[in-house]
Amino acid sequence: MVNVHRRRSWEIAESFATPEYAFLNRRALLAAMGIGAMAAAVAPGRARGAEADPTADLYPARKNDAYGVDNGITPENINANYNNFYEYGTDKYIATAAQSLVVRPWPIEIGGLVEKPLTIEFDELVRRFPLETRLYRHRCVEAWSMTIPWSGFPLASLVEFARPLSDAKFIRFETFLDPSMAPGQNSFLYPWPYVEGVTMAEAANELAFLVTGAYDKPLLKQFGAPIRLALPWKYGFKSIKSIRRIDFVAERPVGLWEAIQPSEYGFWANVNPDVPHPRWSQARERVLHTGETIPTRIFNGYGAQVAHLYEGLDPSSLFM
């Protein structure tokens, strides 16, 4: 349950929360960031088929001002040209390659420990919930960060819709598996498809958000269209993109990164500046849109909302 008296640590002056991404000049910004040459790539929002998106009418979604950021919004053109999506490549410049993701049809299977397993098309699912827009921080385990105006609905609403049985302890999310539209999935170095998971208590937390849009329109493909997670208090790899299967399970799911390298990427992956990654410090982060390096905050600044979820648990595993 939400404790409304908890201090919302990220709440800030309204002036910071203006949608500056709508006005900033792209070329000027990229030049200022010094990444003009490498990112002169995809003009977001003009992706093939964007005009025909049958969910476009759902945006812009009502803004929920309870969720703000204090260091400005990362302009869309920066965000949309710096992505992590291993299905489309191992560097950050996958925006062009990701346009071969085919998002229709997009049947989503909801199963495991539920009253009645079902398959529902994304276009139908997204209309079952009122959408809202929230400004969220995103902190990648690689020590860069950004802020995004995500649109979507609480994961808790999906859980209610799915009607899990009482022995469900975790939710396991799975991405599509189709090497013909995602060349990265031809690589046998990774145990495709991408998988991630959360506990039922984490799923019920107000911050856990299923994202269907960003920057006031349906999700661009490189952001993980048509639907992805946002868990802003955890390292970015927990926020799985392009979800195709949602299973309620009794056993703790093993994510793709944990499967590859359990000594570096754990299940909890809560942001903590005091617990270094085995190969680098997590004390600071580079903000994509300012180029500044700022101190990282415990739980990425969302401790007032989520710290109670982890009381009494072994702290040695919570932050990796």
Tokens, residue 269: 């992956």
Residue with tokens 């269907």: 212
Identify residues 26-85 at the interface with Mo ion (CB under 5 A): 84
Residue among 140 and 306 whose Cβ is closer to ligand MTE: 140
Q: Which of 139, 101, 115 is nearest to 244 (CA)?
A: 101
Tokens, residue 87: 């299905």
Q: Which residue is nearest to ligand MTE (CB)?
A: 236
Q: Which of 151, 210, 147 is nearest to 10 (CA)?
A: 147
Residue among 59 and 304 whose Cβ is closer to ligand MTE: 59
Residue among 78 and 113 whose Cβ is closer to ligand MTE: 78
Please tell me whether residue 140 binds Mo ion under the rule CB under 5 A: yes
| Helix count and strand count (H, E) for the chain | 9, 13
Q: Which stretch binds ligand MTE (CB under 6 A): 121-129, 166-174, 238-246, 268-276?
A: 238-246
Q: Which stretch binds ligand MTE (CB under 6 A): 28-36, 70-78, 237-245, 289-297?
A: 237-245
Identify residues 165-194 at the interface with ligand MTE (CB under 6 A): 175, 194
- How many residues bind ligand MTE (CB under 6 A)? The answer is 16
Interface with ligand MTE (CB under 6 A), residue from 236, 253, 255, 266: 236
| Residue 119 β-bridge partners | 109
Minimum separation from the CB atom of position 90 to ligand MTE (A)? 9
Residue with tokens 């799975």: 174
Residue among 84 and 272 whose Cβ is closer to Mo ion: 84
Please tell me whether residue 83 binds ligand MTE under the rule CB under 6 A: yes
Binding partner of residue 172 among ligand MTE, Mo ion, none, CB cut-off 5 to 8 Å per kind: none
Interface with ligand MTE (CB under 6 A), residue from 55, 77, 84, 133: 84
The rounded Cα 139 to chain-centroid distance in angstroms is: 10
307-316 CB contacts, 8 Å cutoff, 24+ apart: 309/199, 309/201, 309/202, 309/205, 310/268, 310/270
User: Are residues 86 and 190 in contact, defined by beta-carbon separation less than 8 angstroms?
Assistant: yes
Please tell me whether residue 236 binds Mo ion under the rule CB under 5 A: yes
How many Å apart are CA 298 and CA 209, to the nearest integer? 19
Q: Which amino acid is at 258?
A: E
Cα distances (Å, whole numbers) of residue 191 to 107, 188, 259, 268 = 22, 7, 8, 19
Q: Which stretch binds Mo ion (CB under 5 A): 33-41, 152-160, 237-245, 262-270?
A: 237-245
Interacting residue ranges for ligand MTE, rule: CB under 6 A: 83-87, 140, 175, 194, 223-224, 236-237, 239-242
Interacting residue ranges for Mo ion, rule: CB under 5 A: 84, 140, 236-237
